[in-house]
Amino acid sequence: MIIYVSAPYTLGNLIINVKNACEAGNLLLDKGHVPLIPHLMMLWELHSPKPYSEWMRICLALLGKCDALLRLEGFSKGADIEVKIAKEAGIPVYFNLQEVPNV
């Protein structure tokens, strides 16, 4: 499955948030899945800053192409919106890596 990694980004330490998302992505790879880590768009943001609403539009479009969503711990309004949209679209939502099946 292509699994969207949904987690805090702007609140707290940006570098640690991106690191946590990448670590979850590695664990998804270990389970045989393909992670989509929107946190990596930070590189694009450094090159070409855009409003938060534009990033959310892009991320939600990508989410719609995914087979599942993994929501990592931590407060995040954006991640909560992603979970809501995924559920409305019938995309399975996992709240910990143990729930994600191995391939």
Closest alpha carbon to 18 in 7, 30, 27, 31: 7
Note the pLDDT of residue 3.
Answer: 98
Between β-strands 68-71 and 2-6, what pairing exists: parallel, antiparallel or unpaired?
A: parallel
Q: Amino acid identity of 78?
A: G
Domain boundaries, the chain: 2-99
- Mean pLDDT per 10-residue segment, the chain (103 residues): 96 94 98 98 94 95 98 96 98 97 96
pTM of the complete model: 0.95
Closest alpha carbon to 34 in 96, 103, 90, 88: 103
CATH of domain 2-99: 3.40.50.450
